[in-house]
Structure 1
């Protein structure tokens, strides 16, 4: 009689919980161990709405023990290293843990050293981030009385690349409602060369920015923050362009350009956890080295990786994970039963719900080639072009997606 296969999953975020739940539904002889140090599990996509005062933060958090699937063992510990040749990992408190199959899904971490001054400034005064403290973001937006509202992002990959502009659109809506638009200058400074990488979505967003009178500054690479003087310093890329210029308080120093702000929102610079960066599992960019389509590690056949830590060229979103999990589960199932890889492939699908106003949203769905790939099920909601703003998409974001997340996705049900 064949022995039970031990599957170890690193990470209790969206990817780890979904994989554990889906695997536990398979008719396989397996024991599943999930390693995660945190007490709580967060539904972070709603933090955009929390930061705009239209969603309750308490609804985004649940105890970790409540979301770990039945039959899955939880080791409340941190991973500090890998020994893939010995099929084991090293934990902080529990020593070595062996496995037959390993799923690596720890998410990403913030490295404030990449933008000097940001770590000391974030979540204090007029500097805020939905990524770290959306309650403080809402406080900053409410207390803004006019001046320059600067929205920006680092040069690293980040969770949901559209999030830094979503909160900007909602903030503009709030300023308009408070009748301080005429005293306000909204600036979006981004290292990229376009507002969004998917053409139909970009066309809509450029119209949104025009309507909202936002100063777009492309090719602005955030270098450091001077919180005392309220200046964000940038290196300008050769392809630097500007749309809808505004007269701002600008400083220059040693080739850098500084934009003075009266409020600042940014995403933190993000990297893979150190135990991945320093491991034999990392690629040259220090992310988890997996095959783009199978999500199998490029050198170790019994290791799979998915979610934000995976070194694949797609947006780091929960929607991407939704399509990655079935591929990983299929591959592990096939390897256990027939010692071959499965036939499911991941095409790079991700999606970004881009809220453009209170009550309006655009839904960007795309693949590795940045092709616009809208879900046919949207027609059931009477949404026939999700690249255009729609109130039904807002309802999906605020009510539909959280319900699906807690009640379907985290329970291993395909949606």
Structure 2
């Protein structure tokens, strides 16, 4: 049996979950719940319907029917509490207007021209004729008008969260005793997540402080993992760099479950480092050089040469097995090396810098690029490719606004 509640704001209220764990939200004013097996808790279906309306208020429409769609149409079409016994769907729904059927406006207008205004009128038409005129949609509407089973219930599945909490009798101010408590809680949440056959993608730590405040930390893992020892090391390193501002009186750890990652090694690919060890190594490096300086470079939406941003490193990413096209590699100098060029106002003929110097044997350019003129920091530059007498090929550029020359990199 299915129950449908039609009332303003019922979807956001969460009342339906008080009567069944299997709930589907149709829209903000309509929800359907599976009440099969709820008789032991709440009584017969008519008693369940009355309890639901009492909980939702007198303006709520509640319908109980053997099929999901029949319950939805009855709740939207009739006021109060409606109970439809098995086998009486067509008779009880017959007086409802066809506009309650979810279909296209074109079909509704055609039915109106035919003089079909109620479910009973539509159910009385030959199904073969509806199929010839409307195809599969006509057969679906004919079945809905008769109260026959339609789409199955599609209940929302709440994302599971594995959580463990510990209230402390005495405040803890040192990291070493706090790590013992973290280890205990991590073992509990890892056991919970293992029971679900899942792994963790996010670690959340909430520390209640003695002064009434709260210290929250979140670690986003690059790939799903389930390793309590690794999680403890990551949390310990994070707390070393971001310690709480007062002694700790409560600890709560939660993990966001995620499907286990598939692992398939290629026969002709070099072995990649284990994601767990790589993540721990990156966290230690981030503690030394700063988290903003560790990760994978990613291009940004600009024409500024060399512009990029740092994104979190993706551990265990697959290597490309295809052959890379042959070509010259460009070794970028970061930061660019200041250079002197002669003659000053014409094409480069001689270059002096800390990384390269010599006479220009061949040159190509200039190529003018510019951008960000609509901001407070516009830029423009002229690029040249130079073959110097030292036997190497370089790229240099001249800042348009300052006139300063820089050595941008070297071709290998």
Higher-Rg member (1/2): 2
Q: Structure with the greater relative contact order (CA < 8 A, sep ≥ 6): 1 or 2?
A: 1
State the TM-score, normalized to the length of structure 1.
0.17
For normalisation by structure 2, the TM-score amounts to 0.17
